[in-house]
Amino acid sequence: MSERVFPTTAGTDAAPDLRLPGNGPRRLGVIDIGSNSLRLVIFDGLKRMPQPIFNEKALCALGAGVADTGRLDPERADAAALALRRFAAIGRELAGDAIIAVATAAVRDAADGPAFIQRVERECGIPIRIVTGVEEATLSALGVLSSEPEADGLVADLGGGSLELVRVEQGAVGRQITLPVGALRLAARGSDARAWTEAVEKALDDAPWAAEAAARGLYLVGGGWRAIARVHIAETRHPIAAIHRYTLDMPQTLALADKVMGMKAADLARLKAAPARRLATLPHAAAALAGLVRRVKPSEVVFSTYGLREGVLYENLPAALRAADPLMAACRDIADQHSGFGAYGDRVHDWIAPLFAGETPNDLRLRHAACLLSEIAVAAHPDRRADHAIEEILTMPFLPLRHRERAFLALAVYARYAGNITGLHARPARDLLDQPAQARARLIGLALRLGDTFSGCAPALLDRGELELTPQALTLRARPGGRDLMGEVVERRLEAVAKVMRRRWRMTAEAA
């Protein structure tokens, strides 16, 4: 067990020193040598919300047996070295020397861990950092904060060898501890599920502060827990398959953990949603979840696909980039990839703002995101644009939003193309939203539809018209040079917006 009680933030001297070589490489890679799995992720750049362009996992169970023997199993070590040679070859080709490799609990705890790392460094030609338990916890928490800066509560990262707990608050990493109750260590305790949960609860005696932190929220990191989330999403037919920020309450989480923990091998084999090679340790991951949740009693449980690897990148960001809104950064990147309309999303956001006076900061943020993504389907076939847009937004794996927010964003952009929210492909998003949220999403979509039609998505042309809303009417006023942009289609779009706002509509033009 190790513990840090001093708060840390990204970029401080107390955070792990895992710096990338060079200055801002176009691509960069992270190799994560975990107790259960090894993973190579190549990201598209050192930026606020980097996107993976290559992601490969090897389940070697490197930490199996370490708790009993204190050493790495030779066959598993050979398998890990083989996988790491492959990762190194791919990483050098895709990212050059911009690769960070970290090893966690299995290598850290094994007496021959340092010798294994020396061997791999010699064979692969890539330096590898064995991180301490405290450093591992810090990086996992930074990964969560990179996607959800407002996260307030307890980050729990379950690996094969250890469970890291970290307090996060106001964008900072606080008190943390690493506990020797990873999934592989629990598996080594035999087949009694009660013994697994009791081991976790006993280990939590060393972290009495965890319950107070979890009362604000529990953020789960780790492949085993992601697999459990997949099971719940599939079995409940949840309308959004993305795991990131999937949220359950405490009773739902306990029911799920108890169910998976009690499954026999035949039951596990029927779980199509979980990766086949995760099935053997899935009950142990469920036991860790059950023991943790029973002890800390969280207000809510949030699954995160962001963790140590994303924390490594976040640690490398300049302070100015770390301070940027991850949603806006992600949406700008997506907009750049899908359309050539440049700053149009920001301009149309301002142009339709008169229709949304009095909105909350989060409502404004989501509306801005919808504007940035409004051209996401512009290259699709006209008959498929609405369906394409909503599918893209609902399935993007790393969009930094809770599921209801994601559904809202998807429905708004769907309405921008379809002019309604009634289509079959819109149903998954509708099912997660109440009527007021659906109505607001529809209004944003119709307003975008009006702006896009008026300007042809050319930012400069938006300056030739303006919207004015009064209690009685919605007016589109053409400024000098804007009269020629008026027409029958613009009129229909304006009428549609006015109808949902229960206003009269009119089009006027300033004198030349």
User: How do beta strands 218-221 and 153-158 pair?
Assistant: parallel
Nearest to 135 by CA among 225, 240, 232, 14: 14
Distance from chain centroid for Cα 46: 17
pLDDT in tens, 379-420: 889 999 999 999 999 998 888 999 999 999 999 999 999 999
Take residue 456 and report the two structure tokens written for it: 């042809």
| Count of Cβ atoms closer than 10 Å to residue 486 Cβ | 18
Q: What was the pLDDT predicted at 308?
A: 93
- Residue 450 to residue 492: CA distance in whole angstroms: 9
Residue for token pair 């106001």: 170
Q: Provide the percentage of residues in the chain whose pLDDT is more than 90.
A: 76
Distance from chain centroid for Cα 63: 27
Residue 9 has pLDDT above 70, yes or no: no
- Residue 344 to residue 337: CA distance in whole angstroms: 14
Q: What was the pLDDT predicted at 15?
A: 42
pLDDT in tens, 146-180: 999 999 999 999 998 899 999 999 889 999 999 99
Backbone φ and ψ for 7, nearest 5 degrees, come out as -65, 145
Long-range contacts, stretch 439-442, CB < 8 angstroms, 24+ apart:
439/500, 440/363, 440/408, 440/412, 441/370, 441/408, 441/411, 441/412, 441/415, 442/411, 442/412, 442/415, 442/500
Q: What is the pTM of this model?
A: 0.88
Rg (CA), the chain: 25
Residue 3 has pLDDT above 50, yes or no: no
CB 100 within 8 Å of CB 129 = yes
pLDDT in tens, 92-113: 999 998 999 999 989 999 999 9
Q: Is the dihedral of CA 274, 276, 279, 281 positive or negative?
A: negative
Which residues, 6 or more positions from 19, have their beta carbon under 8 angstroms from its beta carbon? 316
Domains and CATH numbers, the chain: 28-130 (3.30.420.40), 135-309 (3.30.420.150), 325-509 (1.10.3210.10)
Residue 11 has pLDDT above 70, yes or no: no
